[in-house]
Structure 1
Amino acid sequence: MPHTKTALQQVWPALTDISPEHMALAALRHEIDLLDDELLALFQRRLAIAARVGQAKDAPAGPHVKLRPDREQRVLDRVLAQAEPHNQEAVESLWRQIVGWGLARQGRMKVQVWSPIEPTRAFDGARLRFGAAADMRAVRDPQAALEWASEGHGVAVLAVNAGDPWWTGLRREWAGLSVFDGFGGETPSALAVGRIDPAALPTGRRVVVDAGGDAGDGGGIRRRGLDTHHGWTLSLTDAALPVGGDEGCVGAIP
């Protein structure tokens, strides 16, 4: 009767020469190899589908970049809710990379970063957000980055409270741009800006640019100030303000 090799024998041909500990390790490594094969097949299948999403009817069109922060937020929330608590940080990082490479199938995302203070922190936040697939580079002029983003070339990640009140332009010459994410913790030290479809902005705190203090405008809307310049204030509010309205809402961060 022919001898049939087991999976362990295929991994370790000379079973009689190894210890039980090595046999157990070989079994675990073989299981990981099988999982890697499954992950690879699923990842490549996801990339193929992602390439088709960019041509779907509900994909952003016109001058808007291809990002849909609202969709990303919903999917990430759903995934993290299913992940074990001690795995959530790893799951978020991995998921961002997967999404980034999926977006790259529709054209690699370009990101310009301006952060004269703590540039590494801004880069790290942007890299986590957009993934390794994004084409990121540092720039010296936030106004040039805004103009570049306004033309639909990509997104700009710009530091706040760093000596340049670039954000005042979101109410004037760069009104076609929207803030859609923030980096640096509960009080963000940098904001992501791009030509985002207003319907695709995330659910969360509204970003407001207006003339007034950071405590509120007298109308019951409470704000947290991020930066000020010559009477103008950049702030966050939990109020559900419409983008582009009289209140000065210029975007949202999750």
Structure 2
Amino acid sequence: MPHSNLQQIWPEPVDLSPEQMALAALRHEIDDLDDQLLALFQRRLSIAARVGLAKDAPHGPHVKLRPDREQTVLDRVLSQTRPENREAVESLWRQIVGWGLARQGRMKVQVWSPIEPTRAFDGARQRFGAAADMRSVRDPQAALKWAAEGHGVAVLAVNAGSDWWLGLRREWSSLSVFDGFGGETPTALAVGKIDPAALPNGRRVIVDVGGDAGDGAGIRRRGLDTSHGWTLSLTDAVLPVGGAEGCVGAIG
């Protein structure tokens, strides 16, 4: 066989520098890790699909969200995370959980935020992941009605020219606030038909008559919005949802 044909079949090896060999070894290690991650992720998706049928999953009129469980798992994961990796790990974990929830039924989210829509969308997208079906809406009351019918969750801006939150004490009392976006003082709240027992362990959201000075017990409230003598605020007090204090939910 001619030498030229041998060269086509068995090309002569190319000498690699030590740096190139080290890089190739690292890439091989990453490929191996990717294979392991893929196998574990697909296994997690399969288990997540079964969770919706488990006995301890919410039943009846509530959406299949367990903010308390998510909070516990995220806290456990972040407690084992290096400080420089916390932001990346939390973002990745939210995506993983979002796709897991999608196996139980794709999460639908309606967003109303006339002043800072991008900020509200970014917060909602980080919270529910890329798997969520997110839509922008123009009417917060229509979004509340939609959420109260159990179709999904609504993310609604506060201090944006609407006192929609008053409805949480009235016609939309079946809904609960379960998360907030925009920093320490939220600029948008997530509401849905969440099992009260599944709310996160965090600051309580209150809708009541009066200001945000406190409740007389030394626990100060942080006001988010006011309307005709009513106040939407946060407190560290541990209050029952639906009680006389006007607690309408909690955020982690």
1:178 and 1:14, CA in 2 relative to 1: closer, same or farther beyond 3 A?
farther
Partner SS state of residue 56, structure 2: coil
Residue 251 of structure 1 and its aligned partner are, at CA, apart by 0.2
Structure-1-length-normalised TM-score: 0.93
Structure-2-length-normalised TM-score: 0.94
Is structure 2 residue 97 aligned with structure 1 residue 99? yes
Partner SS state of residue 61, structure 1: coil
Q: Note the alpha carbon deviations across 1:140-186, whole angstroms, 9 max, x for none.
A: 00000000000000000000000000000000000000000000000
Q: Note the alpha carbon deviations across 1:162-213, whole angstroms, 9 max, x for none.
A: 0000000000000000000000000000000000000000000000000001
User: Which residue is 1:74 aligned to?
Assistant: 72
User: Which residue is 1:227 aligned to?
Assistant: 225
User: Which residue is 1:55 aligned to?
Assistant: 53
Tell me how far apart the structure 1 counterparts of residues 222 and 246 of structure 2 sit (CA, whole Å).
Answer: 14
Is structure 2 residue 105 aligned with structure 1 residue 119? no
Map 1:1-254 → 2, pairs under 5 A: 16-254=14-252
Name the % identity: 86
Tell me how far apart the structure 2 counterparts of residues 207 and 70 of structure 1 sit (CA, whole Å).
Answer: 16
Aligned residues: CA RMSD: 1.1
1:190 and 1:15, CA in 2 relative to 1: closer, same or farther beyond 3 A?
farther
Q: Which moved more, 1:219-228 or 1:65-74?
A: 219-228
1:14 and 1:81, CA in 2 relative to 1: closer, same or farther beyond 3 A?
farther
Partner SS state of residue 19, structure 2: helix
Q: Note the alpha carbon deviations across 1:211-230, whole angstroms, 9 max, x for none.
A: 00111244544211000000
Q: Note the alpha carbon deviations across 1:115-158, whole angstroms, 9 max, x for none.
A: 00111000000000000000001000000000000000000000
User: Which residue is 2:7 aligned to?
Assistant: none
Aligned residue pairs, count: 242
Residue 53 of structure 1 and its aligned partner are, at CA, apart by 0.2
1:243 and 1:17, CA in 2 relative to 1: closer, same or farther beyond 3 A?
same
One-letter identity of the residue aligned with 1:158: L
Partner SS state of residue 171, structure 2: coil
One-letter identity of the residue aligned with 2:248: V
